[in-house]
Chain A
Amino acid sequence: MTAPAIELKGISKAFGPVQANKDISIRVMPGTIHGIIGENGAGKSTLMSILYGFYKADAGEVFISGQKTEIPDSQAAIAAGIGMVFQHFKLVENFTVLENIILGAEDGGLLKPSLSKARKTLLELEKEYDLKVDPDAVIEQIGVGMQQRVEILKALYRQANILTLDEPTGVLTPAEADQLFRILGRLKEEGKTIILITHKLREIMDITDTVSVMRRGEMTATVKTAETSPEELAELMVGRKVLLRVDKEPATPGDVVLDVKNLKVVDDQGVERLRGIDLQVRAGEILGIAGVAGNGQSELLEVLGGYEDATGTVTLNGAPIDLTGKYSDGRSRRDRGIAHVPEDRQREGLIMDFAAWENTAFGYHRDAAYTSGLLSNNAAIKADTAEKMERFDVRPPHPHLAAKNFSGGNQQKIVLAREIERNPDLLLIGQPTRGVDIGAIEFIHQQIVALRDQGKAILLVSVELEEILGLADRVAVMFDGQIMGERLTTETDEKELGLLMAGITDTDKPHTIAEIEANLAQAHGNPHKEI
């Protein structure tokens, strides 16, 4: 039997009180695609950082092709044949592809020989693995898909035999993701070993040979992909049975609640982030906004939430809303019956150092129920918080605990409880389940559907197509600050939406991946903007 390409034995790593990795052992056979799946915070990224020499494990050993190997830093990892493609690319934006590839791997003091050698190698690699890139293109002018291929080429140029990819499809359209998987399949055929870290069950099922499941820092199982199912994997990730699809009746839309016409936003650099948005949300329906991150969805939420100035007209129940000036702030919006669960709950929706009860009042802290005279009625807020925590099953149910001490899912429940229980006419909700454990996703989706069934209008922004297709009744696709098209979720699929996400509106015709990429590269958006 051949030795595993990588074997980890008993890896443990703690950060202060948090045990990020606990006695992890894993064997990855050469020439296979090995998936590592787990929820946010399960310890996947920590494990990979240890493998790449970013962290030093507290205990445990690493074997590469049967040889015990010490990896004190990334140089050692590269020398051992390990390549890493991070979720956020590590490319110099204003360098060319070629320059990025040799960066840190130059031979000698002169650049020219390195560059021409790299050009030659690059052509060979391109042929061998079908990895098309233009060596002289500048990074900031190429699309995300191509940037990712540059990252893969960087690793291959450094003779990586083991390629690790961390959440590689997060910023890709479905067509680009398919393209990436074809490349990974090709790399596998050529004998490379691939480790794919993801939280998407479908990707695991589609392309991996074996899959390891992580939960709370521990490796709970390693199974052959062919012998498992998404349901079983989800159960292994969460520790109990979960419902993977959203249970809901067809919507019965009523009157128009939110009416947006010709909405435009120009950012500080003078770039137009929203380029004339028109949309409507009716009572009792969920409108999903799909799109690759950074195409204007965040700006749309910020404008509607009242903290970004814009031009155009927005009406709520027929009455106009101020888009600039004194009455264009979060407080005025709340007064008008617009609740907002922001995309970034840790920096916007919550104040992490504040107790849960303070966060429950946050934004509504001047409400008559929460004040008595000049003072805050802290007792009333705390009582209200305890009730909300119970209704939304926030664990642990302690109003005095600081927000930072709750898990991502429970933090989101605190925000949701605050916003939904105000009984708003319109709920804006961004990335409702990002960084939320699968168990809590189910509950959050139920709450959103329940609000819809009460006849409220809901605007949902998510970069997870699956979530939009499952939760929304209608979907509008944004690309480069514009809406490319609207579909009923019952009458569309990922493929069609994927084309719209790339700015292609004639979705009936066939389109090449090159065409899709060229289109995406032209967009002004920055999918790597941290939200």
Chain B
Amino acid sequence: MDVMPKWAEVILVPLISLILAALLSALVILAIGENPVEAVNLMVTGAVGSTYGWGYTLYYATNFMFTGLAVSVAFHAGLFNIGGEGQAMLGGLGVALVLLFIPWPHWTIALLAATAGAAVFGALWAAIPAYLQAKRGSHIVITTIMFNFIAAAVLNYMLVNQLRPAGSMDPATERFREAVHLPSLHEMLAPIGINFSKAAPANVSLVIAIIACVLVWLLIWRTPLGLEIRSYGKSGRAAKYAGIGAVRITMIAMLISGALAGMMAINNVMGEAERLVLNAVEGTGFIGIAVALMGRSHPFGVFLAAILFGFLYQGGAELALWTSIPRELIVVIQALVILFTGALDNMVRMPLERIFLAVRTARASKSVGPAE
């Protein structure tokens, strides 16, 4: 029998980790002479206290869902895709090319095409490290990291030398056409009488991200391919025994992973900036690792963790804006959350397991009755 019931595993462990991270963050805030209660207050009102705050929180969360899912799918195959950053950059390039060079009549078709473009570019960028891993045994962690740098260089070249409008000093493409403007949550919710903030960047991509969560769940837990991916991730030898090809699974898992990371671009490039800028991804690819860790690589967990990190991002930005708490401290808080939920998982798990065990033994001996 498993030591802990499933609910404790899925909810209690991350929750306690989160509370520990919050307590430690409070101590740090105290140490620099600020009031932690006030800080929490500010973060909560700033991130979820208004539709404006929600709009930003959900915007960030959408990004994190895509990169979190990307990391999760690779995790299931036992692959550590650290290249979400680069794949998302290339996804942005894919979106920009699709939208700049084809005059789409309506945003719906444009969104489908841009999603495909983003996915293809992201997947292709993941394909090279995947191939090197599958065929040559080059470690995927090393190659995907290196490909992040190459992606940055490619994007730099494309923006500065190719896509920058003549005469512009800004390494960015021109604005996409008005026809491909994605409806924001404000525009989507107005017809049903909800007055959502007009300024917030959350947009219809959120729906695509949620659909992606459902599809990934179906893929991983409801298809033969998902079983193969998970088997390969758990035991390479068992997969070999069953006739599941290592090369095939490595390629497929990484292509899906890269495509998901690339798809983030429909949110930040097409939905928010409406043009491709140089530093569009801003570390979201790396946050995806934390999101996947915290979400236990389960799409629903990723969904929740993405919203939490969206909250931390938006709340942190508000905190930096309204208090003298420096921006760097926000990074510290985020790092603590990652540390406790990801890296220090066992610190919470072990004592919890012991408690559950003690409770169960006590209950078992009671039900059997006193020993003679």
Task: Report A's interface with B, CB cutoff 8 A.
Answer: 16-17, 305-307, 329-334, 340, 342, 344, 347-354, 358, 361-363, 365-366, 370-371, 374-376, 378, 401-402, 405
Q: Is the CB of B238 within 8 A of A362?
A: yes
Query: Closest approach, in angstroms, between the C-beta of A352 and any C-beta of chain B?
Result: 8
Closest residue of chain B to A374 (Cβ to Cβ) is: B223
Q: Is the CB of B235 within 8 A of A17?
A: no
Which residues on the B side are within 8 Å of A344 (C-beta)?
Answer: 237
Which residues on the B side are within 8 Å of A340 (C-beta)?
Answer: 241
Which residues on the A side are within 8 Å of B218 (C-beta)?
Answer: 375
Given contacts A306-B243, A329-B245, contact A378 B237 (CB under 8 A): no
Q: Which residue of B2, B223, B228 contacts A405 across the interface (Cβ within 8 Å)?
A: B2
Q: Is the CB of B240 within 8 A of A307?
A: yes
Query: Closest approach, in angstroms, between the C-beta of B252 and any C-beta of chain A?
Result: 14
B1 touches A (CB below 8 Å) = yes
B226-252 vs A, CB cutoff 8 Å, 1 = contact: the mask equals: 111011001101101111110000000
Given contacts A16-B353, A306-B243, A375-B223, contact A365 B238 (CB under 8 A): no
How distant is the Cα of A29 from the Cα of B33 in the complex, in angstroms?
71
How distant is the Cα of A377 from the Cα of B234 in the complex, in angstroms?
22
Which residues on the B side are within 8 Å of A375 (C-beta)?
Answer: 218, 222-223
B37 touches A (CB below 8 Å) = no
B1-42 vs A, CB cutoff 8 Å, 1 = contact: the mask equals: 111000000000000000000000000000000000000000
Q: Is the CB of B240 within 8 A of A365?
A: no
Which residues on the B side are within 8 Å of A350 (C-beta)?
Answer: 238
B369 touches A (CB below 8 Å) = no
Chain A CB within 10 A, most for which of B1, B222, B224, B234: B224
Chain B CB within 10 A, most for which of A306, A351, A358, A361: A351
Which residues on the A side are within 8 Å of B241 (C-beta)?
Answer: 305, 307, 330, 340, 342, 348-349, 363
Q: Is the CB of A378 within 8 A of B231?
A: no
Q: Is the CB of A351 within 8 A of B238?
A: yes
Closest residue of chain A to B225 (Cβ to Cβ) is: A374
How distant is the Cα of A180 from the Cα of B77 in the complex, in angstroms?
47
Q: Which residue of A17, A363, A365, A405 contacts B357 across the interface (Cβ within 8 Å)?
A: A17
How distant is the Cα of A362 from the Cα of B353 in the complex, in angstroms?
30
How distant is the Cα of A374 from the Cα of B2 in the complex, in angstroms?
31
Which residues on the A side are within 8 Å of B228 (C-beta)?
Answer: 365
How distant is the Cα of A401 from the Cα of B1 in the complex, in angstroms?
8
Task: Report B's interface with A, CB cutoff 8 A.
Answer: 1-3, 218, 222-224, 226-228, 230-231, 234-235, 237-238, 240-245, 353, 357, 360
How distant is the Cα of A349 from the Cα of B242 in the complex, in angstroms?
8
24 A-B contacts (beta carbon < 8 Å): A16-B3, A16-B357, A305-B241, A329-B245, A331-B242, A332-B243, A334-B243, A347-B237, A348-B235, A348-B240, A349-B241, A350-B238, A351-B230, A351-B231, A351-B234, A351-B238, A352-B234, A352-B235, A362-B231, A371-B224, A375-B218, A376-B224, A376-B226, A405-B2
Which residues on the A side are within 8 Å of B242 (C-beta)?
Answer: 330-331, 362-363, 365
Q: Is the CB of B243 within 8 A of A365?
A: no
Which residues on the A side are within 8 Å of B238 (C-beta)?
Answer: 347-351, 362
Q: Which residue of B226, B230, B240 contacts A330 across the interface (Cβ within 8 Å)?
A: B240
Query: Closest approach, in angstroms, between the C-beta of A523 and any C-beta of chain B?
Result: 25
Closest residue of chain A to B228 (Cβ to Cβ) is: A365
Which residues on the A side are within 8 Å of B2 (C-beta)?
Answer: 402, 405
Q: Is the CB of B237 within 8 A of A331?
A: no
Which residues on the A side are within 8 Å of B223 (C-beta)?
Answer: 374-376
Q: Is the CB of B235 within 8 A of A351?
A: yes
Which residues on the B side are within 8 Å of A352 (C-beta)?
Answer: 234-235
Taking A307-B243, A334-B243 as given, write out 11 further A-B residue pairs in contact, using a Cβ cutoff of 8 Å, ordered by the A residue number.
A16-B353, A306-B243, A307-B241, A344-B237, A347-B238, A351-B231, A351-B234, A351-B235, A352-B235, A362-B238, A376-B224
Given contacts A365-B227, A375-B223, contact A333 B243 (CB under 8 A): yes
Which residues on the A side are within 8 Å of B224 (C-beta)?
Answer: 365-366, 370-371, 376
Query: Closest approach, in angstroms, between the C-beta of B15 and any C-beta of chain A?
Result: 23
Given contacts A349-B238, A351-B235, contact A378 B222 (CB under 8 A): yes
Query: Closest approach, in angstroms, between the C-beta of B262 and any C-beta of chain A?
Result: 23
Given contacts A16-B357, A330-B240, contact A347 B235 (CB under 8 A): yes
Which residues on the A side are within 8 Å of B231 (C-beta)?
Answer: 351, 354, 362
Which residues on the A side are within 8 Å of B234 (C-beta)?
Answer: 351-354
Q: Which residue of B222, B226, B237, B360 contacts A348 across the interface (Cβ within 8 Å)?
A: B237
Which residues on the B side are within 8 Å of A353 (C-beta)?
Answer: 234
Which residues on the B side are within 8 Å of A365 (C-beta)?
Answer: 224, 227-228, 242
Query: Closest approach, in angstroms, between the C-beta of B231 and any C-beta of chain A?
Result: 6
**Which A-B residue pairs are the 4 nearest by beta carbons?**
A330-B243, A331-B243, A363-B242, A329-B243
Closest residue of chain B to A306 (Cβ to Cβ) is: B243
Which residues on the A side are within 8 Å of B240 (C-beta)?
Answer: 307, 330, 348
How distant is the Cα of A350 from the Cα of B238 in the complex, in angstroms?
7
How distant is the Cα of A334 from the Cα of B243 in the complex, in angstroms?
9
Query: Closest approach, in angstroms, between the C-beta of B298 and any C-beta of chain A?
Result: 14
Q: Is the CB of A17 within 8 A of B243?
A: no
Given contacts A348-B238, A349-B238, contact A362 B227 (CB under 8 A): yes
Query: Closest approach, in angstroms, between the C-beta of A111 and any C-beta of chain B?
Result: 40
Which residues on the B side are within 8 Å of A330 (C-beta)?
Answer: 240-244
How distant is the Cα of A358 from the Cα of B223 in the complex, in angstroms?
12
Q: Is the CB of A361 within 8 A of B227?
A: yes
How distant is the Cα of A17 from the Cα of B354 in the complex, in angstroms?
9
Which residues on the A side are within 8 Å of B222 (C-beta)?
Answer: 375-376, 378
Query: Closest approach, in angstroms, between the C-beta of B297 and any C-beta of chain A?
Result: 13
Closest residue of chain B to A381 (Cβ to Cβ) is: B227
How distant is the Cα of A376 from the Cα of B224 in the complex, in angstroms?
6
Closest residue of chain B to A353 (Cβ to Cβ) is: B234
Which residues on the B side are within 8 Å of A347 (C-beta)?
Answer: 235, 237-238
Chain A CB within 10 A, most for which of B231, B353, B360: B231
Which residues on the A side are within 8 Å of B226 (C-beta)?
Answer: 376
Chain A CB within 10 A, most for which of B2, B235, B238: B238
Closest residue of chain B to A358 (Cβ to Cβ) is: B227
Q: Which residue of A17, A332, A349, A354 contacts B3 across the interface (Cβ within 8 Å)?
A: A17
Which residues on the B side are within 8 Å of A374 (C-beta)?
Answer: 223
How distant is the Cα of A415 from the Cα of B237 in the complex, in angstroms?
15
Query: Closest approach, in angstroms, between the C-beta of A41 and any C-beta of chain B?
Result: 16
How distant is the Cα of A405 from the Cα of B3 in the complex, in angstroms?
11
Which residues on the A side are within 8 Å of B3 (C-beta)?
Answer: 16-17
Which residues on the A side are within 8 Å of B1 (C-beta)?
Answer: 17, 401, 405
How distant is the Cα of A362 from the Cα of B230 in the complex, in angstroms?
11
How distant is the Cα of A329 from the Cα of B2 in the complex, in angstroms?
34
Which residues on the A side are within 8 Å of B235 (C-beta)?
Answer: 347-348, 351-352
Query: Closest approach, in angstroms, between the C-beta of B65 and any C-beta of chain A?
Result: 23
How distant is the Cα of A334 from the Cα of B244 in the complex, in angstroms?
12
Which residues on the B side are within 8 Å of A334 (C-beta)?
Answer: 243
How distant is the Cα of A349 from the Cα of B237 in the complex, in angstroms?
9
Closest residue of chain A to B226 (Cβ to Cβ) is: A376
Closest residue of chain A to B350 (Cβ to Cβ) is: A16
Chain A CB within 10 A, most for which of B2, B240, B357: B240
Which residues on the B side are within 8 Å of A358 (C-beta)?
Answer: 227
Q: Is the CB of A363 within 8 A of B243?
A: yes
How distant is the Cα of A336 from the Cα of B230 in the complex, in angstroms?
25
How distant is the Cα of A376 from the Cα of B240 in the complex, in angstroms?
20
Chain B CB within 10 A, most for which of A352, A371, A374: A374
How distant is the Cα of A17 from the Cα of B361 in the complex, in angstroms?
9
Query: Closest approach, in angstroms, between the C-beta of B9 and any C-beta of chain A?
Result: 12
Which residues on the A side are within 8 Å of B357 (C-beta)?
Answer: 16-17
Query: Closest approach, in angstroms, between the C-beta of A22 and any C-beta of chain B?
Result: 12
Which residues on the A side are within 8 Å of B243 (C-beta)?
Answer: 306-307, 329-334, 363
How distant is the Cα of A351 from the Cα of B228 in the complex, in angstroms?
11
How distant is the Cα of A331 from the Cα of B240 in the complex, in angstroms?
10
Query: Closest approach, in angstroms, between the C-beta of A361 and any C-beta of chain B?
Result: 7
How distant is the Cα of A16 from the Cα of B357 in the complex, in angstroms?
8
How distant is the Cα of A378 from the Cα of B353 in the complex, in angstroms?
30
